[in-house]
């Protein structure tokens, strides 16, 4: 990412034609349609559609979603390597909508994929995103619409490390870590600083976020050959 502009390309999981086909199709084994929660993989398998995976990571102002907001998010397409992203702008803060807009763009981007991958995402990223969506009355996908893989759980099961933090896993399976460090004060200044401060600092947070998805995706691919990926749903 060079200009740090909001991602313009939001992938569509199902266009109008595909949605109609999925509604009309019934799984010969389960009798569910190609849009039924938890059974979309059946349609994909029969029609030769490869599972679409994306590694998602968020940066927030607090570890709890009823006190904090999402400052930036990044999502790396595991197949193509393309990184989608968005960030809270000065206008978002001034209009008192905080992270509402970027939570919506994150949900829109997630809809382009079948499996969401993240690190410690079972306990943080996924519930945080869901909580912020509920807070803003946004239409968050119901249970079963996505499969989910947590690289923290992968590392805990596959490796024997002193810590299952993402950077520790990267050192073990990639022999290096690209994780950056940020002064915690930056998160507060993004919200309460001047417009100039916000514009400058949000780029630093976004860069940190980008490095996290690059490293996390690398960890996932390095461990995947030792791991049987399950159809865990969120």
pLDDT in tens, 2-44: 444 444 333 456 667 777 888 888 888 888 888 776 677 788 8
Rg (CA), the chain: 18
Every domain range in the chain assigned CATH 3.30.420.10: 54-224
Q: 84's torsion region: left (phi>0), alpha (psi -120 to 50) or beta? A: beta
Single pTM value for the model: 0.86
Average pLDDT of span 66-93: 94
Q: What is the DSSP letter of 62?
A: S
More confident residue, 17 or 167: 167
Rounded to whole angstroms, how far apart are CA atoms 225 and 220? 9
Across 148-155, average pLDDT: 98
Secondary-structure class of domain 54-224 per CATH: alpha beta
Question: Greater confidence, 115 or 45?
Answer: 115
Residue 78 pLDDT: 96
Average pLDDT score over residue span 107-117: 92
pLDDT in tens, 84-102: 999 998 889 888 889 999 9
Best CA proximity match to 54, nearest among 115, 126, 124:
115
- pLDDT above 90 covers what percent of the chain? 53
């Amino acid at each position: 990412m060079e200009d740090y502009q909001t991602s313009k390309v939001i992938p569509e999981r199902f266009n109008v034609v595909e949605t109609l086909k999925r509604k009309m199709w019934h799984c010969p084994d389960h009798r569910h349609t190609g849009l039924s929660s938890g059974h979309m993989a059946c349609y994909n398998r029969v029609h030769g559609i490869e599972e679409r995976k994306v590694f998602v990571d968020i940066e927030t102002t607090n570890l709890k979603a009823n006190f904090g907001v999402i400052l930036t998010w990044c999502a790396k397409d595991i197949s193509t390597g393309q990184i989608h992203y968005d960030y809270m702008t000065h206008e978002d803060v001034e209009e008192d909508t905080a992270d509402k807009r970027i939570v919506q763009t994150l949900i829109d981007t997630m809809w382009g994929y079948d499996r969401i991958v993240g690190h410690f995402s079972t306990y943080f990223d996924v519930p945080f995103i869901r909580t912020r969506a509920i807070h803003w009355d946004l239409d968050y996908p119901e249970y079963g619409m996505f499969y989910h893989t947590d690289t923290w759980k992968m590392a805990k099961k596959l490796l024997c490390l002193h810590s299952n933090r993402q950077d520790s896993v990267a050192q073990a399976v990639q022999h290096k870590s690209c994780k950056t460090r940020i002064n915690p004060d930056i998160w507060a200044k993004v919200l309460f600083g001047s417009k100039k401060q916000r514009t400058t600092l949000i780029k630093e947070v976004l860069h940190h976020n980008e490095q996290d998805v690059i490293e996390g995706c690398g960890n996932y691919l390095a461990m995947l050959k030792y791991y049987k990926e399950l159809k865990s749903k969120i």
